[in-house]
Amino acid sequence: MITSYLRRGMAAGLLAGLLAGLFAFFVAEPFVDQAIHLEEAAGGHSDEILGRATQRVGLFFATGLFGATVGGIFGLAYPYFSSRLASETDWIRSLSLAAAIFAGAFLIPFIKYPANPPTVGDPATIGERTASYYAMVALSLLAVLVAWQTARLLRERKVMAPVRHLAVGLGLVLAVTVLFLGLPAAPDPGAFPAGLLWDFRLSSLGTQLVFWSGLGVIFGLLCERANRRELH
């Protein structure tokens, strides 16, 4: 059974990754080009080994590989979480799990450390910034996991839904607030144009949203299809 979930996860992740790559190609890449042109106009230079044309082609390879890898991990984790979720169908369970991981792995860290174009930030501090970001990702995922476990425990103890939702929601907000205050601040974008900066950030958010939505939807559909086959 684990093998079948792994295959579904990898297939769903690959397709979702390609969809995310398609979104990034048409929506995010133009903003990257604009940022590079601004750097060049300001007298900067690029140390890129690969040209932009090669990078655009490689984008689909990268998102596809990322999707298949993350999808495989999603498929392996799904059997554990699906039996512990309140939802009764694989469709809802898949969407719920994908949404929870999206929130912990990307959305919450994004609010603290929004994506920046390649030309923003001091190259000398990239190691520190990367460490801070991954620490935020790990702790955000932990906060979401604790919130889910708490909600499950309260549900098993027959705590009323309004009380349960408020307690878990406020607890998660408190935990995220502590993370925001405790971790280093995001880098100052300096004089980078605000409009272009937020266009890039929103396109980055959209790319991740497409991926995780696609993963949850496609994996859920594959599971429902497999369930119908077993019934017949």
State the residue range of the domain holding 201: 1-118+193-232
- Pull the structure tokens for residue 110: 């994004």
The C-alpha atoms of residue 20 and residue 226 are separated, in whole angstroms, by: 25
Residues 77 and 151 in one domain: no
Domain count of the fold of the chain: 2
- Per-residue DSSP letter, 80: H
Residues 203 and 148 in one domain: no
The C-alpha atoms of residue 207 and residue 126 are separated, in whole angstroms, by: 23
Terminal-to-terminal C-alpha distance of the chain: 18
Per-residue pLDDT for 28 more than 80? yes
Distance of CA 75 to the CA centre of its chain: 16
| pLDDT tens, position by position, 109-121 | 999 999 988 767 6
At 39 the pLDDT is: 65
More confident residue, 109 or 35: 109
Mean pLDDT for 170-192 is 92
Residues 94 and 161 in one domain: no
Residue 17's nearest CA partner among 66, 50, 59, 74 is: 66
Residues 43 and 130 in one domain: no
How much is the pTM? 0.89
Mean pLDDT for 53-68 is 86
What is the chain's percent helix, strand, coil content, to nearest 5? 80, 0, 20
The C-alpha atoms of residue 191 and residue 231 are separated, in whole angstroms, by: 61
Residues 112 and 133 in one domain: no
In this structure, what are the phi and psi dihedrals at residue 49, rounded to the nearest 5 degrees? Answer: -80, -40
Residues 88 and 169 in one domain: no
At 43 the pLDDT is: 58
CA contacts within 13 A on the Cβ side of 199: 15
Mean pLDDT for 171-178 is 97
More confident residue, 51 or 130: 130
Residues 128 and 178 in one domain: yes
- Pull the structure tokens for residue 198: 């937020």
Residues 69 and 129 in one domain: no
Residues 128 and 92 in one domain: no
| pLDDT tens, position by position, 78-134 | 999 988 887 789 999 999 999 999 999 999 999 999 998 876 767 778 889 899 999
Residues 110 and 133 in one domain: no
Residues 55 and 148 in one domain: no
Do 18 and 67 meet the contact criterion of CB atoms below 8 Å apart?
yes
| pLDDT tens, position by position, 143-156 | 999 999 999 999 99
The C-alpha atoms of residue 16 and residue 3 are separated, in whole angstroms, by: 20
At 33 the pLDDT is: 78
Pick from 32-36, 50-54, 89-93 the range whose average pLDDT is largest: 89-93
The CA-atom distances, in angstroms, between 36 and each of 33, 45, 117, 192 are 5, 9, 9, 11
Residues 49 and 73 in one domain: yes
